[in-house]
């Protein structure tokens, strides 16, 4: 087969895979809506039974096609729909910001008790922070979405953070990834950010303690 025909065959195959990936993205968007609704219902139940709302905010995001393909390439994985679904678990992401440390684990536990939520993986960066100070509770779950003619299970990453954790993570990203900074200055920033992360952790614990003391006085 001439070289041009080989290239054309590979290009056509890639275009077919890209189209399949794009079609699959709609499933991930549906899964995000399902998960977001679940947390809104939980928040409403807390309001009804406990007269408080543990969720400060909920946000969702979908990885771009370019980001997905780049991640597959970096891992030397096939650029296909099957490879994407089997190897990349954070295409669809939900971030739940809770008021207190205790709320993070309560929300995660209530969420996982639902019989249509299948837990795949847990990464607890609250109990075991990353070396840079990052803290968050990550769950990889699989939930069903109901299409016109089938039920499909879709993977979603759910991140739980307190307000302090989210504040730190948002600013860390802006401060750490300025490309024009020297390596020496980046090292200094890393050290300062780690100290800030420890202060945020202390703040979270103090706020939790105040909440516990307040409840004890009411009882």
CA separation for the pair 48, 147 (Å, rounded) = 32
Catalytic residue among 34, 157, 184, 218: 157
Q: Can 36 be counted among the known catalytic residues?
A: no
Three-state DSSP state, 134: coil
CA separation for the pair 194, 217 (Å, rounded) = 35
Long-range contact pairs involving 77-84 (C-beta distance under 8 Å, separation at least 24): 79/14, 79/17, 80/17, 80/20, 81/17, 81/20, 81/21, 81/24, 84/21, 84/24
Three-state DSSP state, 58: strand
Mind telling me the catalytic residues?
157
């Amino acid at each position: 087969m001439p070289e041009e025909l080989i290239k054309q065959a590979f290009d056509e195959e890639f275009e077919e895979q890209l189209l399949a990936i794009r079609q699959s993205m709609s499933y991930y968007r549906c899964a995000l809506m399902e998960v977001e609704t679940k947390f809104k219902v939980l928040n409403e139940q807390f309001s009804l039974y406990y007269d408080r709302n543990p969720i400060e905010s909920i946000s969702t995001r979908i990885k771009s096609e370019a980001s997905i393909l780049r991640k597959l390439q970096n891992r030397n994985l096939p650029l296909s729909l099957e490879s994407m679904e089997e190897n990349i678990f954070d295409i669809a992401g939900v971030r739940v910001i809770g008021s207190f440390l205790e709320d993070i684990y309560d929300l995660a536990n209530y969420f996982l008790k639902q019989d249509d939520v299948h837990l795949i993986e847990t990464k607890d960066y609250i109990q075991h922070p990353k070396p840079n100070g990052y803290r968050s509770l990550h769950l990889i779950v699989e939930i069903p979405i109901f299409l016109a003619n089938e039920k499909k299970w879709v993977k979603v990453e759910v991140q739980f953070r307190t307000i302090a954790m989210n504040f730190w993570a948002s600013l860390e990203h802006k401060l750490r990834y300025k490309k024009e900074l020297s390596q020496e200055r980046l090292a200094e920033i890393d050290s300062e950010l780690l100290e800030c992360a420890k202060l945020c952790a202390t703040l979270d614990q103090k706020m939790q303690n105040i909440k516990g003391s307040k409840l004890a006085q009411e009882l």
